[in-house]
Amino acid sequence: MKKVVVTGPECSGKTTLAQQLSEALSVPFMEEIARSYLTDREGRYALEDIEQIARLHIEAESNYSGKSDLLILDTDLITLEIWAEEKFGTVPDIIADAVKSRQYDLYLLCMPEMPWVYDPLRENPSDRDRLMDIYLHKLEVWSRQFVIISGTPEQRLRLAMEYISHLVLRES
């Protein structure tokens, strides 16, 4: 199974793009686990919760195995790595180990150029450019294949579809 991760800072259009790709390609879409987990806790969390989100992410991802030739993921464990470092100054072993061992075929790194929209689970309205640099650095450090996605929602979808067809689907 090929896997494409849509990632980037908060409110950068990740979920919208992931859903659009899933629909356009008629493939499964794995929602961001943190969103449902934190909604149940009204946004309150500790480092142990980020570890639990990682476990749930790994389990959910394994449930898609063999169900399709392609899976679109709304974020991955690198997001949890960044989040743990930013909020708690440390990365739990489960996340560090999973980031090292899990491989994906392509990352679509969304620029934070969308207008900020309030959401009780979002925390960084004025820090998205710095976080974008961290995402970029992490993807380079982990030698992940990625492309930067920007523009209007329509341009983003068209660009993402082109990259997926050239970099992921042609290798099938």
Return the amino acid letter for 20. Answer: Q
Mean pLDDT (the chain, rounded): 93
Selection from 40-49, 115-124, 132-141 with the highest mean pLDDT: 132-141
Instruction: Assign a CATH topology to domain 2-171.
Output: Rossmann fold (3.40.50)
Convert 38-74 to b/e letters by CB count within 10 Å (16 or more is b).
beeeeeebeeeebbbbbeebbeebeebeeeeebbbbb
List C-alpha distances in Å: 147 to 1, 18, 30, 110, 160.
Answer: 20, 14, 20, 9, 9
For position 40, what pLDDT does the model report?
A: 81
Which band of pLDDT confidence, cut at 50, 70 and 90, is reported for residue 18? Answer: very high
Taking the C-alpha atoms of residue 85 and residue 130, their distance in angstroms, rounded to an integer, is 14
* Rounded to 5°, angle at Cα 137 from 94 and 17: 80
For position 75, what pLDDT does the model report?
A: 96
The 10s digit of each residue's pLDDT in 75-106 is 999 999 999 999 999 999 999 999 999 999 99
Instruction: Indicate the pTM of the whole model.
Output: 0.94
Ordered by start, the domain boundaries in the chain are 2-171
Phi, psi of 58 (to 5 degrees): -60, -45
Show the tokens assigned to 60: 């959910």
| pLDDT(125) > 90 | no
Is residue 14 within 8 A of residue 110, CB to CB? The reply is yes
Which band of pLDDT confidence, cut at 50, 70 and 90, is reported for residue 171? Answer: low
Of the candidates 47, 64, 54, the one whose C-alpha atom is nearest the C-alpha of residue 4 is 64
List C-alpha distances in Å: 89 to 82, 92, 109.
Answer: 9, 10, 23
Handedness of CA 168, 133, 98, 58 (dihedral sign): negative
* Position with higher pLDDT, 98 vs 65: 98
